[in-house]
Structure 1
C-alpha cells in the first residue's frame, strides 16, 4: 500500500504556503490551479484530515496541515541532500570522512584546514576524534577513522600508508609551585630516586581494540592518568605531578614561568610523528585532506 504523502504532494503543499495561494503556487510549479486543488483534496481524503480551513475567502492551513507542512519540508530537504549526495558520490566524493588527531597536535591547525574544505561546497560529513598514544592507530585499525594524524611509527603498518609530518621534542617540566621547583635548579640533574617521591602525570591511551601503551618512562610513587596532553599540561602547571611534555605545546607556560624545565637522569628522545591511512582507501575528500594535512605547519620541531 503506497503512502498518500508523496514527494509531489509535499512539494505542492510547500509551494502553496510559500507563494500564498493556489494560483501563485500553480504558476511556480507550471501547473493549473485545479491540478493543485485535486492533489490537496486527494491528500486530505486519504489521510482523513483537513489540511486547509476553507471557511474564509482564503484557504488557511489547519493545525494538522501545519504539522504536515513542517515535517514534509524536512523530508523534502533530506531528499535534496540525498540526491546531491548520490550525484556527489558518483563523481568520487565520499559522503563522510573521519579524522583522528593525536592530542599532541594543534586543534587550530586542523580546524583551519576544515574551514578551507567547507569552501569547496561538498556535502561531506566530517568528524574529528581526539586520540592519544596508540589511539590513532586503533582508530584506523578498527575502522573508526579514515585518516590518523600524529601517530608514531611503532605500531602495525602493513596495509597503511605513512608520511612524516614532523618531530616533537620532549622536555621534563614541573609547575612553579611544585616542591621540586625549590629543590632543584635549571642546571642541576634530578635523580631517579627523587622522581620516585612525586606523582607522575600520564596521558591515557585511547586504544579500544589494540593493546594499550604507556608514555611513562620513569617510576613514580603514584600515577595520575588524564585524557589528553592538554589535561596533562594543566595538571603539571597546577603542581599535581611531574613528567615530560612536548615543548611546542608549552611555549606560553615556559615564557611566563608557570612551568620550569629541569634535567633528569632519565631522558626522553625526540619522537617522529606521522599521518597514516589505509593504502586501498579511495575518495576525493580523502585525497584532499591527505594533501593538506601532510603539508600543514603543525608547529613541531621538524617539518616533513
Structure 2
C-alpha cells in the first residue's frame, strides 16, 4: 500500500470528487483515478461509488478513511523526524567503558560531547574491557571505549591513547631501596594485578614469561584504584598506568623493559552506527590526532 495512493484516497474523500482532489494534489484527474484504482486493487475492495458526478464512500471506504488519515499522519511525523535528524543529533547512545578509562580519559571528552549534542541520552555502562568487547559483539552497546586487546572481525578496534605502564611500589618497599632493578628482582616479590583473563594482566605476565619468570600473586582485582591502594601501603608491587602515578608510589626503572597498552574504541563492523556514535568517535579521533592529553587538561 503506497502513501501516494492513500493520499489520493483521502483527498477524493475530503474534496468530494476526483477533479477537486486532482487540483488539490496538483495532479491530473486520470492520475488520481489511477491511484484510486491501484489502491482498490491492492485492498480487493471498492472504496467509492460513482453516482453520476457525485462520489460517495462505500462501507469499505468509510472503514479505511480514519485509518488512512492515521497512516499519513504517522508518515508525515516520520518524515519530520528524519528531517530533524539531519540537523540535530539525538536519541540514545549506549557506550561500554572500563572504570579506569571512564575515570581518567572520558570526563572532559564526554563534557564536550554533551555540550555539543544535548539531545543525546547517554547510556554509559562500566565493566571490564573483555566484557565491553562482548557487549559490542552482542549488539548490546554501539561502541566500547576501553583497553584494547586482540580484535577479530566482525569487531574493529581503533587506538586513541598510548597508555604506558610503570612498575610501582610503596616508597618503603624493599624494591624501592634497590639502585638497579631487574624483572627477576620484581618477580621475587608478591604482585597485585587485574584478573588473569584481562588484557592488562596478559601484557604483564607475558613480559615476565619471555624471561622464564612467573608471578607471585598476592591477589587480583580489576579496580585499578584498589590496586594502587595496595601498592601504596606496601602490600605488593604492580604495573600502574602512568596517569595514576603520584607521590604515593615509587616507580621502578627496569632497563630494557617497557610496558604499555593501547586504549581506544571498539565497534561492530557489520552494524551501521548512529549519528550520535559517529559524533563521539569524531571526538575520540580528535583526541588521538591531538596527541596525548593529560587527564583533566
Shared fold, TM over 0.5: yes
Aligned match for 1:189, one of 162, 181, 187? 181
Does structure 2 conserve the Cα–Cα contact (< 8 Å) formed by 1:99 and 1:127? yes
Does structure 1 conserve the Cα–Cα contact (< 8 Å) formed by 2:193 and 2:201? no
Aligned match for 1:273, one of 234, 258, 263? 263
Matches within 5 A, 1:69-108: 87=81, 91=85, 93=89, 95-105=91-101, 107=103
Q: CA deviation at 1:176?
A: 0.9
SS in 2 for 1:240: coil
Aligned mates of 2:101, 2:291 — CA distance in 1 = 7
Aligned mates of 1:248, 1:112 — CA distance in 2 = 15
Does structure 2 conserve the Cα–Cα contact (< 8 Å) formed by 1:101 and 1:130? yes
Q: Does 2:228 correspond to 1:237?
A: no
Q: Which residue of 1 aligns with 2:45?
A: none
How many residues are aligned here?
205
Matches within 5 A, 1:282-297: 282-296=273-287
Aligned match for 2:215, one of 220, 227, 230? 220
Structure 1 residues 123 and 199 mapped into 2: Cα distance closer, same or farther (>3 Å)?
same
Aligned match for 2:250, one of 260, 266, 270? 260
Structure 1 residues 121 and 141 mapped into 2: Cα distance closer, same or farther (>3 Å)?
closer
Aligned match for 1:142, one of 138, 141, 146? 138
Q: Which residue of 1 aligns with 2:66?
A: none
Report the TM-score when normalising by structure 2: 0.56
Structure 1 residues 154 and 224 mapped into 2: Cα distance closer, same or farther (>3 Å)?
same
Aligned mates of 1:151, 1:87 — CA distance in 2 = 36
Does structure 2 conserve the Cα–Cα contact (< 8 Å) formed by 1:203 and 1:215? no
Q: Which residue of 1 aligns with 2:173?
A: 178
SS in 2 for 1:112: helix
Aligned mates of 2:156, 2:183 — CA distance in 1 = 41
Larger helix share, 1 or 2: 2
Structure 1 residues 266 and 300 mapped into 2: Cα distance closer, same or farther (>3 Å)?
farther
| C-alpha RMSD over aligned residues | 3.6
Q: CA deviation at 1:205?
A: 6.9
* Structure 1: 5+ residue stretches without partners: 1-82
Structure 1 residues 220 and 294 mapped into 2: Cα distance closer, same or farther (>3 Å)?
same
Matches within 5 A, 1:204-219: 204=195, 214-217=202-205, 218=208, 219=214
Does structure 2 conserve the Cα–Cα contact (< 8 Å) formed by 1:133 and 1:205? no
